[in-house]
Amino acid sequence: MKYNIIILLFWSCLLQAQTKNEKEERIPDFQFPKPAYNYFNNTKKPLKRLKFFKEIDGKNKSYEAKFKYNKLHYSVEFDTLGKLEDIEIIIKQKHIPEGALQQITTYFKTNFDKYSFIKIQEQYINKTTKTDTDFINYILENPIGKHTHFEIIAEIKSEKDRLFKEFTFKFTGEFEKSRPISSSSYEHALF
C-alpha cells in the first residue's frame, strides 16, 4: 500500500511535466514592461485596485493590468515589449446589444445541447491611428459602442462532453474562434 502511494505520487509528478504550461501569475509593479506601466499613471481619475499579472500561454508571454475604473472591471493586455494587445471590460449578458446577442445565442443553440455563460467581456483592439496611451484613455473615458469583439467563457455541453471554452465573437455577434480552457475539478470539495 505504502509503495502504491509513492508510485502514484511519482506518476502524478511525471504527468505534471507533460502538461501545457498555461499560467497567470501576479507580479510586482517593477516587473511590468516600463512603457506600459507609465500609461496607468496619467489617467483622469485614479485607477482602483490596480494589479499586475504575467501570463504564460505555451510559448507566448504577455502582461496584464487589471483595475476598476468608473465602476467597470478592466483588463489591459500587453506583449513583452509593452505594446498594447487588447483592452477587456467585464459586462453582463444584458449589456450585449440585442442584435449581437441574438446571433450569439443562435450560435450556442445550434452548436451545443446546453450552455451557460461564466464570464462575458467586451474586447477593444486598437484599429485606429491613436497611440496606445491615447487609445487606453479614449476607451477609459467612454467605452460605450467602441468594442470590436465579445469574449465569452462558457460551460458547454455537446454530445461528446462537457467543458469550458473561450469564444470570440465579432462586435456584430458573428462567431470568430473558440478554444477549450481547463477548469479545476471539484472533487476536493464534493465529499
Partner 1 sequence: MRYFKPLLFLLLFFCLSVSGQNNLTLMGESSISVSHKATKNYSVNFAARSRYFLNPDDSFGYKQQQMDVYHFSTFKLNINHDLSLGIYYRNRDLFNTGSGEVRFTQQFNYKKQRHSFRFGHRVRAEQRILDTKTIFRQRYRFAVDFPLNGEKLDVGEPYLFCALEGLWSFSKKDTPEFDERTMTQIGWQISETLKLQTGLEYRLEAFNVLAKHSLYLLTSAVLKL
Q: Give the residues lining the site for partner 1 (CB under 8 A).
A: 5, 8-9, 12-13, 15-16, 19, 21-26, 53, 90, 114, 116, 118-119, 155, 157, 160-162, 181-191
The span from the CA of 100 to the CA of 173, in Å, is 4
Closer by beta carbon to partner 1, 28 or else 145 = 28
Closer by beta carbon to partner 1, 9 or else 125 = 9
Q: What is the smallest separation between the CB atom of 22 and partner 1, expressed in angstroms?
A: 7
The span from the CA of 18 to the CA of 141, in Å, is 45
Closer by beta carbon to partner 1, 117 or else 138 = 117
Closer by beta carbon to partner 1, 88 or else 132 = 88
Distances in whole angstroms, Cα of residue 137 to Cα of each of 39, 51, 83, 114: 9, 18, 15, 39
In this structure, the number of other CB atoms found within 10 A of the CB of residue 139 comes to 21
The span from the CA of 152 to the CA of 167, in Å, is 5
The span from the CA of 106 to the CA of 89, in Å, is 23
Closer by beta carbon to partner 1, 66 or else 147 = 66
The CA angle 166-171-176, to the nearest 5 degrees, is 45
Q: What is the smallest separation between the CB atom of 144 and partner 1, expressed in angstroms?
A: 22
Say if CB 148 and CB 124 are below 8 A apart.
yes
Q: What is the smallest separation between the CB atom of 42 and partner 1, expressed in angstroms?
A: 27
3-state secondary structure of 33: coil
Q: What is the smallest separation between the CB atom of 96 and partner 1, expressed in angstroms?
A: 17
Q: What is the smallest separation between the CB atom of 157 and partner 1, expressed in angstroms?
A: 6
